[in-house]
Amino acid sequence: MTEAALHYNRVARFLHWTIGLLIIGNIIGGILHDPLGEIFPVMPIHKSIGFVVLALSLFRLYWRITHPAPPLPEAMPRWEAFSAHALHWLFYALMIALPMTGWIFSSAGKYPLQFFWLFDIPKLAVEKGSLLAEATHEAHELLGIGWGVLLLVHIGAALRHHYILKDNILTRMWRAAPGA
């Protein structure tokens, strides 16, 4: 197998790091929106970033399906390979579910949904106080906290592979193959 086949392509790497940084920022903003809201408008930015994450994630899912990931090392234990694949697909689900739950319950709010104050985003037909609005609000918060924990596991696993196992797992997503 060529060295290039063992690395993610440029588009996959760009989407991974861009979406990852946006998600980390949004989790922090979501958790700290009450105290930070006194200083600047966190929630409109949080919602706008959520729409960016949703759009990029739908494209990323398409890209991932049409451009398979490089294989994991053959020496990796089966449980670890299974865990890595399961976590990645769970991340794809969360990259879509979290923005969607935010859009659903925000649609029931009194404030307009705007994309970085540039244009309005259509609200979905959800009534304030409805079971759907309440359930998606609760799901959004719980999934966001759970995602933050899973991101720490993901980052910890990547660092373990890079610094302890030294098996080049991290470099597959960090840089292109030599000569590529």
CATH code for the domain of 141: 1.20.950.20
- The domain in which residue 12 lies consists of 4-174
Return the higher-pLDDT residue of 173 and 1. 173
Do the domain assignments include residue 179?
no
Do the domain assignments include residue 163?
yes
The set of residues, in sequence order, having a beta carbon less than 8 Å from that of 70 and lying 6+ positions away, is 5, 6, 7, 8, 172
Whole-angstrom CA distances from 162 to 9, 166, 168 are 19, 5, 6
Do the domain assignments include residue 180?
no
Span 40-84, pLDDT tens digits: 889 999 999 999 999 999 999 999 999 999 999 888 999 999 999
Q: How far apart are CA 134 and CA 17, in angstroms?
A: 32
Do the domain assignments include residue 52?
yes
Classify the C-alpha dihedral 173-153-166-83 as positive or negative: negative
Does the pLDDT value for residue 179 go beyond 60?
Answer: no
Do the domain assignments include residue 134?
yes
Do the domain assignments include residue 153?
yes
Provide the pLDDT for residue 180. 52
Please report, rounded to a whole number, the percentage of residues in the chain having pLDDT higher than 90.
79
* Structure-token pair, residue 6: 């063992």
The stretch 133-160 carries a mean pLDDT of 95
* Structure-token pair, residue 91: 């991340």
Return the higher-pLDDT residue of 122 and 176. 122
Does the pLDDT value for residue 1 go beyond 80?
Answer: no
Instruction: Please indicate, yes or no, whether the overall pTM of this predicted structure exceeds 0.85.
Output: yes
Number of compact structural domains in the chain: 1
